[in-house]
């Protein structure tokens, strides 16, 4: 008898938990596109930025985009430009913008000169540091781990240096703070070259 009661309680708790964690409202890609007009000047008309210091967002992981916007909004990821841009985004805007940019086709490697020796050094470092374990074998990312292939080299250098210095806190179990902590400046330059030109 007691056992049955326990089972029923467990079942009730499970139902309650499922209701509380019901999936978030579906994102509205069209609304995201409309909201993204404010982003085009810097991130490009199709989410592909032409400025090497501004990341491309096209085809980026939805979850990652949403987290970064929330971090800019709260100031956890402090940035003079993106802080004010994100300040008045609602949770709904964040969901819609994430879905919109994730739905755009990712771009090719940005056009910039490639240093073959640096690229090769970067490939070896990416292997040694197991970057693919989280960013996937093609560096296209998954969930909160972003796509890092075909991102601008200068931006990648800044991102890795910001994690290393602690200027940019990482999510979860501080994955990137740890991953970047042992990298030298030349390691960072090589990894950025390898990822930007990844084929």
| Contacts to ligand HEC by CB under 6 A | 38-39, 41-43, 53-55, 57, 65, 67-69, 79, 81-82, 85, 97, 126, 129-131, 133-135, 144-146, 148, 151, 156, 158-160, 170-172, 175-176, 179, 191
Q: How far is the CB of 131 from ligand HEC (least distance, A)?
A: 3
Complex with ligand HEC: residue 119 or 144, whichever CB lies closer: 144
Q: How far is the CB of 8 from ligand HEC (least distance, A)?
A: 39
The radius of gyration of the chain's CA atoms, rounded to the nearest angstrom, is: 20
Among candidate residues 79, 129, 128, 113, the one with its CA nearest the CA of residue 193: 113
Complex with ligand HEC: residue 118 or 144, whichever CB lies closer: 144
Complex with ligand HEC: residue 8 or 120, whichever CB lies closer: 120
Residue 187, number of CB atoms within 10 A of its CB? 18
Complex with ligand HEC: residue 15 or 142, whichever CB lies closer: 142
Q: How far is the CB of 2 from ligand HEC (least distance, A)?
A: 44
Complex with ligand HEC: residue 5 or 68, whichever CB lies closer: 68
For 160-167, which contacts have Cβ atoms below 8 Å and span 24 or more sequence positions? 160/188, 160/191, 160/192, 161/185, 161/188, 164/188, 167/78
Q: Do 146 and 155 form a contact (C-beta atoms < 8 A)? A: no
For 13-22, which contacts have Cβ atoms below 8 Å and span 24 or more sequence positions? none
d(CA 31, CA 28): 5
Q: How far is the CB of 103 from ligand HEC (least distance, A)?
A: 13
Q: How far is the CB of 10 from ligand HEC (least distance, A)?
A: 33
Q: Do 175 and 131 form a contact (C-beta atoms < 8 A)? A: no
Q: How far is the CB of 18 from ligand HEC (least distance, A)?
A: 27
d(CA 36, CA 22): 27
Complex with ligand HEC: residue 10 or 81, whichever CB lies closer: 81
């Amino acid at each position: 008898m007691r056992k049955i009661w326990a089972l029923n309680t467990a079942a009730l708790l499970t139902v309650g938990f499922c209701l509380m964690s019901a999936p978030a409202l579906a994102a509205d890609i069209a609304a995201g596109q409309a909201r993204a007009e404010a982003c085009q000047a810097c991130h490009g008309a199709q989410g592909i930025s032409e400025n090497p210091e501004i990341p491309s967002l096209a085809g980026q992981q939805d979850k990652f985009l949403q987290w970064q916007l929330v971090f800019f909004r709260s100031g956890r990821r402090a940035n003079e430009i993106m802080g004010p841009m994100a300040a008045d985004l609602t949770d709904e805007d964040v969901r819609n913008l994430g879905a919109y940019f994730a739905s755009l086709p990712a771009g090719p490697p940005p056009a910039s000169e490639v240093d073959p020796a640096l690229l090769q050094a970067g490939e070896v470092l990416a292997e040694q540091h197991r970057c693919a374990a989280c960013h996937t074998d093609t560096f296209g990312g998954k969930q909160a781990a972003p796509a890092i292939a075909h991102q601008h080299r200068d931006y990648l250098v800044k991102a890795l240096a910001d994690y290393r210095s602690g200027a940019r806190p990482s999510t979860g179990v501080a994955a990137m703070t740890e991953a970047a902590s042992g990298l030298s400046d030349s390691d960072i330059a090589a990894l950025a070259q390898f990822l930007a030109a990844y084929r």
